[in-house]
Structure 1
Amino acid sequence: MRKLAVLTSGGDAPGMNAAIRAVVRKAIFHGLETYGIYQGFSGLISGNIKKLEVGAVGDIIHRGGTILQSARCEEFKTKEGQLQGLEQLKSKGIDGLIVIGGDGSYKGAQGLSQLGFPCIGVPGTIDNDIPGTQYTIGFDTALNTVLDAIDKIRDTATSHERTFIIEVMGRHAGDIALWSGLAGGAETILIPEIPGDLKEIAQRLEKGMERGKKHSIIVVAEGVTSGTEIALRLEEETGLEIRVSVLGHMQRGGSPTAFDRVLASRLGARAVELLMDGKGGRAVGIHKDEIIDEDLFSALEKAHDFKQNLYTLSKELSI
């Protein structure tokens, strides 16, 4: 291993820059040349690849987003696109690739691995939906961004004695909704893993009013349905005036938390170590505070580790 490259793909996540920094500096510390691939797999196909020195990753550990930029690339899902990317890597003499991103990014890395090129997957997504790791880079920061919004919305919900629905990200995994709802004291949490009963929710809202409760917070993951749709149906059931806040892409931005910076640094460094040890086709993660790695191909075959106990606890505490 003499030269390695790093790219970020898919949706950006706070802490990606910290991971890039760790990859570059760990590699240079051990005498390797490092290259940044800009605009994800799209940039790989087009050859948007530049050498990165130590200074290129200075003062980025605290920045959200990704200095390497990111882009969706349908072309890389094809064998032809993957072969084009492989030729670009070979033309630069690059011996290994570290891919930071979510499940779509892992699939791209799997494609190159099947062609015999050493790739390491690093989990970077705010959804926390990558099997094989307890936490993904960006989840903690997004969680705290959402929690801050819930706290602020609760202030105005209390002042106006209203019910608020807060729609958060999470198409297939409800971790952001579940963790922020529990931490923010939400009365109801709706997530893709467990179907919600709107009639039951309506009854809970009405019972709360009967005992003098003046406001409620409902957190819903976007993968369930839109917050507006739920609000309309609950208004029909209860006659209450319900407001909706869609947090949107603000959840992706912001300076990463200390947890995400440390996690990203540890995962990025471990990815370099694996390539130096001659290992490819691996995915790194964290389990019980230990950095682990597993087969890249089996990583996405596992089910998302949904925390049923947290959901049960949220129901018990929201009576």
Structure 2
Amino acid sequence: MERDLYRFVSFFELYDLFTKSQLKMSRLSLMSDKNEGLGDVLKFQESIAYSWDVRKQEKFIEFHESVKGRTYISSWTSEPDLMAMWLLYSQDSSSIRIKTKQTKLRKVLHDFWENNYWTKHIDSKEGTIQLDGIATVDNVDYISFEEISNKIKEKYKQYYKMIEDNVKESGSFFPSAEIQEHMQKTVIESNFGTILKDKAYSHEKEVRAFFSVCLRNKITREEYKELVSKDNMSAIFGTATSDYPTPDKLPNIIKIPIESDFVESICFDPRMPTYKKDVYLDLFSPHLKTIEIEESFVFGYKPEKHKFSVDD
């Protein structure tokens, strides 16, 4: 079923949407929630086979900073008139709510991924931004990071006990079928760690667009082709051309192209002074001819819009 999505934007973001046909994607490190990105680290940590670098607290935090530095998101919601959202994202009563379809947002992300996946940058210069993974849209899952962490610790505890028992019983360090099955059990059910968020934010009912980036490294096309000819795994999976820089080497904002019909409607903060609304209407009038202007009654007095009398 087609779903409407809403985002609360400032004048500057609306300007980019209308006049430059660009959608802003912001780094996780810019978010007020310092725990953004923990889901990605926990999801990596849960993999017993590949988690050696994030089992210790210091390395866990270091990896978390890296994740926040190269992950970009755009936050939307499926609920148009949540009081909390207006209060949070329109503190000066001057924000605008925009509406699009989830299919349109997903296509924007897919097109950006398709044009910037690492395979498209074999001949690009060093330092070019490229994607090494998926770019998509998904519902945010609200969880307790502490509870997930404790479950992962218990998974490891059981794993070590099973290994110890296996050695005592068979004298072999090779994991039994039972141990391998235990290793493959998942604590985190979500497909993407980026959509995990602390349950304190569950009121947002967020739908998140996201992707992670890296930079094109120094390796030449000829060097890359040679690695491919040798069935080098890094060449097959793209890491041979990828550099994962420190966060200061990447921009805070990445703007991605959108179609001209991406924004379907706008809604002014109902508390916005008339003079400000008139400025918006005047400045953006050429772009509003095919866009619906909706109203929000979230701060209004119900009897002014609804007849409550029974006998009239």
Q: Please, what TM-score do these two structures have when normalized by structure 1?
A: 0.24
Choose between structure 1 and 2 for higher RCO, CA contacts under 8 A separated by at least 6 residues: 2
Q: Please, what TM-score do these two structures have when normalized by structure 2?
A: 0.25
